[in-house]
Structure 1
Amino acid sequence: MTEIAHGLESLAEAANELPEHYIETTTALVQSALRTLKHGDAFAVLDEYGDLGVSGPSAEGVYFNDTRYLSFLKLLIEGMRPLLLSSVVQDDNVALSVDLANPDVGAHGVISLPRDTIFIERTKFLWRGVLYERIGFRNFDGHRRQFSITICYDADFRDLFEIRGSQREQRGRVTLTHGKTGPEFHYDGLDGVKRATRLIFWPEPTSADHKSATFLIDIGPYERSSMFVSVACSDRSAPQLTHFSLAFRDRRRAIRAKTAAIATIDSSNDLFNEVCRRATSDLYMLVSRTPHGLYPYAGIPWYSTPFGRDGIITAMMLLWADPAVARGVLSFLSATQADRFDPAADAQPGKILHETRNGEMARLGEVPFRRYYGAVDATPLFVMLAGMYFERTGDSETIAKIWPNILAALRWIDEFGDRDGDGFVEYLRETENGLANQGWKDSHDSIFHADGSLAEGPIALCEVQGYVYAAKSAAGRLARLMGDDDAGAKFDAAAQALKAAFDKAFWCEDLGCYALALDGRKKPCRVRASNSGHALFAGIALPERAKTVAKTLLGRSFFSGWGIRTVASGEMRYNPISYHNGSIWPHDNAMIALGFFRYGLGREAIQIFSAMFEAAAHQDLRRLPELFCGFGRKPHRGPTAYPVACAPQAWAAASIFALLQASLGMELSSQAQSIRFVNPLMPKFLDTVTLTRLTIGESHVRLKLQRHGDDVTLNLLERKGDATVMLVK
């Protein structure tokens, strides 16, 4: 059989497989403008009306600990759905505000309540496991009006993996009781956990049954009135309910506290300011407080939980603006680092967490993700982040605290990551239930040869070798900080040896980039993929390769006009609608842009920055999604949405911070107490950028960069402390 025939056969076989990250849905998330809220381990996905489940089976719902606690909610006035006027998540992502009006109400041709007489305002937010809602009414008529409001509801307690498409042979039992304040749904899980959803109404409904509650509203001319609905989710402990206004105050104070110390961005472009504000709001909505510090949950709805890789990369991109997130990520991942062998979890001692789940299916082992370690890149990225964090902050106390974890991670890299001792880190899942591919492109078909045949493991990914190089380089510096000069020298030597070996094994001169991977036979996967850009990000690429890689990635087969595709068009498995084989991911592009900056390719970084900004400008709420399709740019329209992309997604939101850093050539060094802008450039959509509350050590600065054609000038507006601020050309 020829290689081409073998590749086509593999393609046919793969078409009949169910990919590990396949999300089975009859409706796309982009079919309607969904609204998302999150706090802690609870999140809500609602439609524009503030309802959920009205259009049929979907991802909408109120979720807590990976379980859907409310699957249906619908507001009716006189038995009819109100007219939608507007729907927006507030700028800080604290609350959803929906404006509605009554439709014509009448019978037998007689209108008893004319349309637009009653204005309805819904305000919803999440706080400590409770979805709070105030429904306000205003009568714009000169006559007293009476009407009914009906709230319909249901709870299915489906596990998030069921909603994504997993089939279950049996489930627990759902029962309904009626409490003093409203209905209570109870679920006796097969994992022994008793979950409950309580609906609390004020005032009490006029009538109620197992599906709905009805309220009679009597409101005078031009008067206002309100009612309140709370949805409380509980499993191991019941949430503490409070009044709507007190909860709303506390929720807003909490988000302000998380963002009080971050650097802020203001520019001459109002649209870019909107993108930055939305990115900031999305990030700090997704950032949760854990016992170990702040941690950015990956994204809503499918990944609202700690992911090792996602958290690390998000922290890296946000590091210049808020190093507290990196400190929380390092502490959390140290506390959850594997300390034993567990084949079902793809765990070996020293390995860093891939993801953790709290739902019924994870607790029962129906999916392996209760605490899962099937990521080959999270461990070197963890060490890499530790080095970047120390460079940024000089926080030797945190480094000393996690130093045993860093050493354990480095041992994993050498002992378990490098299975055959050839100097490269590979992966191979331990059981059939684990992820087949364990880099960031973890679709079942994302690692393949030029003929389309799937690579067989153990697989050594291009970007992972870069992360290992950066990790060992960082370990050399940190070892000296810890007083071990000999270990520092060994780590430095290992990094340089890997750099030379990587170039020899992975470079493909005819492709103008690095091979996607080496398969189990050490045969290169000669596929043009965006992974090469991560080699620049990590610094493993030889300087003479950088321009060639950049030229390849910005060529027509890669660059769609909206960004760099994950796989170049023309490759055997290229598909612009796929998850990893031709789509465009903002975080991927941002990391590549940082790689361009590292190698002095500022204009190339600007090209990516401009494309990402223009893509964000076309998105609902100016929000960059997890990914979008890789179709070429067409006049008078935005990028094509990916049907089940998460939005918001932490590393997509953080991409804006990384792209600005790459553009401005921003370098912050705690040891030198300096903030440097090296060969800064600014895209044409920006004339000025002002950074406020930018910190280094004990110093705080406010500064302004201004574009003059292709030149950029720096003006220090305010400085507290003695940090050095300079522009270097």
Structure 2
Amino acid sequence: MADHHLQPLLHDLVSTVLAPTTALSGTDGQIRAAGVQGLFHADARVLSRAGLEIDGREPEPIGHAVPAPGVSRFVGLARWLGDPGPDPTVRIDRVRVVTPGAMDEEITIASTAAEPVTCTVSITLSCDFAPIEVVKSGGAADPLPPAVSGGELTWQTGGIRVTVAGPGFEADGAGLRRVVTVAPRQRVTLRWGVSVEDPKAAVTAPPGPPEWSRPEIEADDARLVRLIRQSLDDLESLRLTETAAPGDTFLGAGVPWFLTLFGRDSIWAARMLLPLGTELAAGTLRVLARRQGVKVDPGSGEAPGKIMHELRRGEFTVEGNGLRLPAAYYGTIDATPLWISLLHDAWRWGMPQDEVGALLPVLEAALGWLDEYGDADGDGFLEYIDTSSRGLANQGWKDSGDAMRFHDGRQAEPPIALVEVQGYAYEAAVAGAALLEAYGRPGAERWRDYAGRMAERFRERFWVDAGYPALALDRDKRPVDALTSNIGHLLGTGILTPAEELRIAETLRDPAMSGAFGLRTMSTADAAFSPLSYHCGSVWTHDTAIVISGLARSRHGEVPAALAADLAEGVLSAAEAFGYRLPELHAGDDRALMGRPIAYPASCRPQAWSAAAAVALLQAAVGLYPDVPGGRAVVRPLPGAPLGALAVRGLRVAGAPVDVAVDGSGAVRVTGLPSGVSLAQQPGD
């Protein structure tokens, strides 16, 4: 069998991150020269090794924790030192603090031995400046020799400068070294750190605190409280802004592969966080608006009005699969309609009128892209194809090369018209019409007509004989008939009738789709299903959360409510199993197999839309839906309070703190709505 590079595994590594800087280590705190371990800054590995040794031996690990954003603590033992006997008497505490462009460590050696303990502490260091895409493809780079001056080590290449120093340590080409003596029942604390200068990075850290509120939550289900707490910590650690145009914050998609601006991911995360304020949404909208497409460029996928996919330091090249993406890449079919819907939803939640108004020209250009460039063949559906042969073959959220499958396992050929993207386009057209009308701009009727015609075409072409919408239409306009989670994204978009929403809920409720810890990306009855397939059988946290949100918004009958409750239970169980830091995805095995979810070994963690999914779950549970421009708010929690009694203090509507409480019977109380917004009964309630 020919040798080939494998993507490094991630699931058992500890991430210490405060974007754009991330340390990835073993659970013992050691950063080894293997796989994806290292200290990364803005798409470059600036330390490939940082190993702690005591007298040439690694401490024996006994525990670790991630107590705060950018902080990890590792505890080990040096049992060869100190008193003889079964009880260890020399303990090593290693506290790692990552801040943007720096990592500092505090190493405390504590002794309860009867005699003084003398030992040599060494930090073995290396730097290879490997680009993240090289690491991701299983490649490596040769370590570079440092320049040693006094007690410092320095590496430098391509404008990046890395400096390591530690007070009291001696430095040489291998790292730092120091001899210490610890008196009986005393401790000695040593410190060392690394700083990074990187003026060419595409992204940097924003100033100030997080842009969202941190609500106080009381819940019968303590898992929800713990999940929200950890998720908000993780989201805080993923905040970014552009180096060239700082001032607007967005969320980097995930650690380590995607810690940069990603149109789809950053938009979904900001949309899920709207109950905590509109500031993050506003920053995300403006960052993407500044890079909205203005010309047709097949190499980058750019087109007039199009919202970009991802931003990198330079060309992103993955060896072995021909992928070569320019630094600003536009190969996405869904970011543009999602941008429109984010603007609309932020407006409803109370984004300042003048900030919304300033983005209306961008909105009009984005709407124009839907009808002209997003529908290249004029059949009325949004479709994609990579004409460059160097970009992403699939350009929806399921963007792996093998994601588009028929029921019998065959791969669909592009151009591909994805099912959920037609729902996004319908929702965006209706949303765009509402904004244009509210601001007295022309075009509202055009986009309402567009949406109506889209719904008619969709109903005619996408539904298959089995009674659910197809995953997509292929190049020959044949329905790609696999049963997938994509159809759940249609819920709540408005493109479906109530009867059709109920039919989709009934379909997704089948254990073949919902029998794992969340919603499977593909049914177990499809030929391409595999529980460890990236997009054909695994469970994605954000995907499940989007479907829960859609079920909560549509909720026609008992089936959608029951499915939402069941999926929420799966998410909370998965959260508990993963220490409440939800991964990008996990395996789609049945819940009964091991009683807990199995890790997908290369899953990003933390990841923005997985962490933001916790807020989406909270939003579905309390059911607050404001319309600030309309002067009303609807409250409609999941019926029967499936998560138990729940009280949330500190949601944000138009900047005002709002409290919502749901008791065990499902009765709800709302206080603090801003002036001019009154609570309205939901039609039919």
Same fold (TM over 0.5): yes
Please tell me whether the aligned partners of residues 641 and 663 of structure 2 are also in contact (alpha carbons under 8 angstroms). no
Tell me how far 1:325 sits from its aligned partner: 1.4
Opposite residue 180 of structure 1, the aligned amino acid is G
Instruction: Give the match's secondary structure for 1:306.
Output: coil
Q: Please tell me whether residue 399 in structure 1 is matched to residue 356 in structure 2.
A: yes
Where does 1:88-107 land on structure 2 (aligned, <5 Å)?
A: 88-90=65-67, 92-105=68-81
427, 433, 446: which is aligned to 1:476?
433
32, 40, 62: which is aligned to 2:39?
62
1:5 match: none
378, 382, 399: which is aligned to 2:335?
378
Take 1:219 and 1:459, find their aligned partners in 2: how far apart are those partners?
67
Distance 1:473 1:719, change over 3 A: closer
Tell me how far 1:50 sits from its aligned partner: 1.7
Take 1:38 and 1:641, find their aligned partners in 2: how far apart are those partners?
21
Opposite residue 388 of structure 2, the aligned amino acid is T
Please tell me whether the aligned partners of residues 429 and 436 of structure 1 are also in contact (alpha carbons under 8 angstroms). yes
Tell me how far 1:725 sits from its aligned partner: 4.3
Tell me how far 1:465 sits from its aligned partner: 0.6
533, 545, 548: which is aligned to 1:593?
548
Where does 1:530-679 land on structure 2 (aligned, <5 Å)?
A: 530-600=485-555, 601-619=560-578, 621-634=579-592, 637-678=595-636
1:227 match: 190
Please tell me whether the aligned partners of residues 84 and 100 of structure 1 are also in contact (alpha carbons under 8 angstroms). yes
Take 1:266 and 1:204, find their aligned partners in 2: how far apart are those partners?
48
Tell me how far 1:681 sits from its aligned partner: 2.7
Where does 1:345-494 land on structure 2 (aligned, <5 Å)?
A: 345-358=300-313, 361=316, 367-484=324-441, 486-494=442-450
Distance 1:567 1:635, change over 3 A: closer
Q: Please tell me whether residue 202 in structure 1 is matched to residue 167 in structure 2.
A: yes
Q: Once the two structures are superposed, what CA deviation does each residue of 1:571-600 show, in whole Å capped at 9, x if it has no partner?
A: 121111100011111111111112212222
Q: Please tell me whether residue 499 in structure 1 is matched to residue 455 in structure 2.
A: yes
Distance 1:447 1:720, change over 3 A: closer
Distance 1:254 1:403, change over 3 A: closer
105, 122, 139: which is aligned to 1:133?
105
Instruction: Give the match's secondary structure for 1:278.
Output: helix
For structure 1, the 5+ residue unaligned runs are 1-14, 188-192, 239-250
Take 1:699 and 1:258, find their aligned partners in 2: how far apart are those partners?
16
Opposite residue 222 of structure 2, the aligned amino acid is D
Distance 1:93 1:143, change over 3 A: same
675, 678, 681: which is aligned to 1:724?
678
1:212 match: 175
Q: Once the two structures are superposed, what CA deviation does each residue of 1:275-312 show, in whole Å capped at 9, x if it has no partner?
A: 11111111121122442422111111111111100011
Take 1:464 and 1:422, find their aligned partners in 2: how far apart are those partners?
14
- What's the TM-score, normalizing by structure 2? 0.92
Opposite residue 47 of structure 1, the aligned amino acid is G
Take 2:143 and 2:669, find their aligned partners in 1: how far apart are those partners?
65
Q: Please tell me whether residue 37 in structure 1 is matched to residue 2 in structure 2.
A: no
Distance 1:380 1:582, change over 3 A: same
Percent pairwise identity: 29
Take 2:241 and 2:514, find their aligned partners in 1: how far apart are those partners?
38
307, 313, 317: which is aligned to 2:272?
317
2:667 match: 713
280, 283, 295: which is aligned to 2:235?
283
1:258 match: 210
Please tell me whether the aligned partners of residues 624 and 637 of structure 2 are also in contact (alpha carbons under 8 angstroms). no
Please tell me whether the aligned partners of residues 240 and 260 of structure 2 are also in contact (alpha carbons under 8 angstroms). no
Instruction: Give the match's secondary structure for 2:382.
Output: coil
Please tell me whether the aligned partners of residues 668 and 674 of structure 1 are also in contact (alpha carbons under 8 angstroms). yes
Opposite residue 181 of structure 1, the aligned amino acid is G
Please tell me whether the aligned partners of residues 320 and 668 of structure 1 are also in contact (alpha carbons under 8 angstroms). no
Distance 1:136 1:726, change over 3 A: farther
1:75 match: 52
Opposite residue 482 of structure 2, the aligned amino acid is V
Take 2:584 and 2:76, find their aligned partners in 1: how far apart are those partners?
30
Tell me how far 1:379 sits from its aligned partner: 0.8
Instruction: Give the match's secondary structure for 2:275.
Output: coil
Q: Once the two structures are superposed, what CA deviation does each residue of 1:453-503 show, in whole Å capped at 9, x if it has no partner?
A: 22222111111111111111011011112212x411111111111111111
Instruction: Give the match's secondary structure for 2:531.
Output: coil
1:305 match: 260
Please tell me whether the aligned partners of residues 81 and 117 of structure 2 are also in contact (alpha carbons under 8 angstroms). no
Please tell me whether the aligned partners of residues 218 and 646 of structure 2 are also in contact (alpha carbons under 8 angstroms). yes
For structure 2, the 5+ residue unaligned runs are none
Opposite residue 565 of structure 2, the aligned amino acid is I
Q: Once the two structures are superposed, what CA deviation does each residue of 1:324-370 show, in whole Å capped at 9, x if it has no partner?
A: 21111101110121222222211112211111111575699983141
Take 1:721 and 1:134, find their aligned partners in 2: how far apart are those partners?
50
Take 1:113 and 1:73, find their aligned partners in 2: how far apart are those partners?
31
Instruction: Give the match's secondary structure for 1:507.
Output: coil
Opposite residue 69 of structure 2, the aligned amino acid is N
Distance 1:341 1:491, change over 3 A: same
Distance 1:554 1:283, change over 3 A: same
Instruction: Give the match's secondary structure for 1:184.
Output: strand
Please tell me whether the aligned partners of residues 73 and 154 of structure 1 are also in contact (alpha carbons under 8 angstroms). yes
1:118 match: 90
Task: Provide the aligned C-alpha RMSD in A.
Answer: 2.8
Tell me how far 1:426 sits from its aligned partner: 0.8
Aligned residues: 671
Please tell me whether the aligned partners of residues 70 and 153 of structure 1 are also in contact (alpha carbons under 8 angstroms). yes
Tell me how far 1:399 sits from its aligned partner: 1.8
Please tell me whether the aligned partners of residues 640 and 664 of structure 2 are also in contact (alpha carbons under 8 angstroms). yes
Distance 1:287 1:265, change over 3 A: farther
- What's the TM-score, normalizing by structure 1? 0.87
Distance 1:718 1:173, change over 3 A: closer
Distance 1:236 1:678, change over 3 A: closer
